[in-house]
C-alpha cells in the first residue's frame, strides 16, 4: 500500500501500519541523505540539487581521488562542513527521537555523516559512513590533534606527517566493523524496519532492507521519490520525512499530545 502526501493535506496512514508500529517491540531505522534535505543539506543523487550533480563521486569520494588531488577533495569537504555547521535538525530527526521513547527498543543507523541525529537528541546512533566533523590521517588513521590544525591545505598529521582527511567512508573502503555488525544484527531481528530518505544505491548498507524482509520484519519506506520503492514493499509512505514522520507518530500515539 502506498500513502501519498500532497503538500498541505493531512497525512492518513493505513491502520495496519499504525497497529504494527504501536505494537512493535523492536524497531530498526535506517536513514540516508534525504532525512537531512529539509535541513538544507543536499542529497547525493537528486538530479538538480544533489552533491554529485556537478561532480562525479570517483573524483571526490575515493582514496584515489584524494591521492590525485588532496586539496580539491579537502576543500569540497570544508565547504560541506560549513553547510553542516549551519544546519539544524528538522522535524524528521526530532520525530525519531520521539519514536525511540515510544517503543521498547529502537536502533538507529545512518549513512549520514552530518551528526544531525545526535544534535536532535538521538542516542547511540550507529554511523555507518563516519562523521564529517572528525579528521584522521590518510596513512595511519591517527586522529586529529584537538589542539590545532597545521597551516597547509590539507593539514598534516602531527604524528606521522601524512595528510589529514575527513573521517568518512569512501568508495572501496571498509565500513566500521562494530557499527556494521550491529546494524546487521538489528535488521535481521527487528519486527519493523523503517528506511528513510535513502536511494538504496550504495552497498553494503542497501542490503539491510533485504535482510529485514527475509527476517520477517514489516518494511516501511519513507521517500518522496516513488522510483525507490520496490514491488516487495508492502508499506510505502511517499513524501518528505519532515512531514511524514511527525504525522505518523501523531497518528500512532494520539495520546502523546496531552502527555508531559
Ligand atoms: C528525501 C527527501 C526528503 C530527498 N525526505 N527523503 C555490491 C555491488 C555493487 C557495488 C558494490 C557492492 N558492494 C560494494 C560495492 C562498491 C560500493 C558501492 O556500493 N557502489 C555502488 C555505487 C554500486 N560500496 C563501497 O565501496 C563501500 N565499501 C565496501 O563495500 O567495502 C568493501 C571492502 C571490503 C574489504 C576491503 C575494503 C572494502 C563503501 C561505500 C561508501 C559510501 N560513501 C558515501 C560518501 C560518504 C562520505 C561523504 O559524505 O562524502 O556515502 S557515497 C554516498 O552515498 C554517501 C551516502 O551515505 C551514500 C548513500 O546515499 P543516500 O544517503 O542514499 O543518498 P542519495 O542521494 O543516494 O538518496 C537520497 C534519497 O533521499 C533519494 O532517494 C531522495 O528521493 C530522498 N529524499 N528529499 C525523505 N525530504
The whole domain housing 212 covers 1-40+89-129+175-260
pTM of the predicted structure, to 2 decimals: 0.95
Q: Quote helix, strand, coil % in the chain, to nearest 5.
A: 40, 20, 45
Measured from CB, residues less than 6 Å from any atom of ligand 1 are 32-35, 37-38, 43-46, 50, 61, 111, 113, 129, 168-174, 197-199, 201-204, 222-225, 228, 240-242
pLDDT average, residue stretch 5-19: 77
Q: What positions carry a catalytic annotation?
A: 129
Q: For 130-157, write each residue's pLDDT tens digit.
A: 999 999 999 999 999 777 777 899 999 9
Domain count, the chain: 2
Distance 17 CA to ligand 1 centre (A): 28
| 153 and 250 together in one domain | no
For residue 208, give the C-alpha cell.
Answer: 539491510
Residue nearest to atom 73 of ligand 1 (CA): 199
Ligand 1 atom nearest the C-alpha of 228 is: 73
| 234 and 198 together in one domain | yes
- Flag whether pLDDT at 2 surpasses 70: no
HSE toward the beta carbon, residue 79, CA cutoff 13 A: 9
Distance 201 CA to ligand 1 centre (A): 6
Q: What is the C-alpha separation between 247 and 184, in angstroms, rounded?
A: 28
**Residue where one domain finishes, among candidates 147, 168, 189:** 168
| 251 and 198 together in one domain | yes
HSE toward the beta carbon, residue 204, CA cutoff 13 A: 14
| 211 and 180 together in one domain | yes
Ligand 1 atom nearest the C-alpha of 52 is: 66
Amino acid at each position: 500500500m502506498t500513502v501519498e502526501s500532497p503538500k498541505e493535506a493531512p497525512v492518513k496512514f493505513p491502520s495496519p501500519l499504525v497497529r504494527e508500529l504501536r505494537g512493535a517491540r523492536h524497531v530498526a531505522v535506517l536513514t540516508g541523505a534525504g532525512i537531512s534535505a529539509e535541513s538544507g543539506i543536499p542529497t547525493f543523487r537528486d538530479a538538480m540539487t544533489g552533491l554529485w550533480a556537478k561532480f562525479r563521486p570517483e573524483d571526490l569520494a575515493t582514496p584515489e581521488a584524494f591521492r590525485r588531488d588532496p586539496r580539491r577533495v579537502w576543500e569540497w569537504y570544508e565547504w560541506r562542513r560549513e553547510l553542516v555547521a549551519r544546519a539544524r535538525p528538522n522535524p524528521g530527526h526530532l520525530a525519531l527521537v520521539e519514536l525511540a521513547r515510544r517503543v521498547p527498543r529502537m536502533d538507529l543507523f545512518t549513512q549520514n555523516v552530518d551528526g544531525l541525529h545526535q544534535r536532535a537528541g538521538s542516542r547511540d546512533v550507529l554511523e555507518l559512513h563516519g562523521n564529517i566533523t572528525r579528521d584522521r590521517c590518510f596513512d595511519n588513521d591517527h586522529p586529529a590533534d584537538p589542539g590545532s590544525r597545521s597551516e597547509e591545505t590539507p593539514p598534516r598529521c602531527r604524528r606521522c606527517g601524512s595528510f589529514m582527511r575527513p573521517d568518512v567512508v569512501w568508495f572501496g573502503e571498509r565500513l566500521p566493523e562494530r557499527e556494521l555488525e550491529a546494524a546487521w544484527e538489528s535488521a535481521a531481528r527487528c519486527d519493523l524496519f523503517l528506511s528513510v530518505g535513502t536511494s538504496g544505491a550504495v552497498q553494503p548498507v542497501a542490503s539491510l532492507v533485504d535482510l529485514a524482509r527475509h527476517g520477517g520484519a514489516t518494511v516501511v519506506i519513507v521517500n518522496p521519490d516513488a522510483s525507490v520503492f520496490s514491488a516487495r514493499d508492502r508499506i510505502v509512505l511517499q513524501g518528505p520525512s519532515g512531514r511524514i514522520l511527525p504525522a505518523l507518530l501523531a497518528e500512532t500515539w494520539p495520546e502523546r499530545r496531552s502527555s508531559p
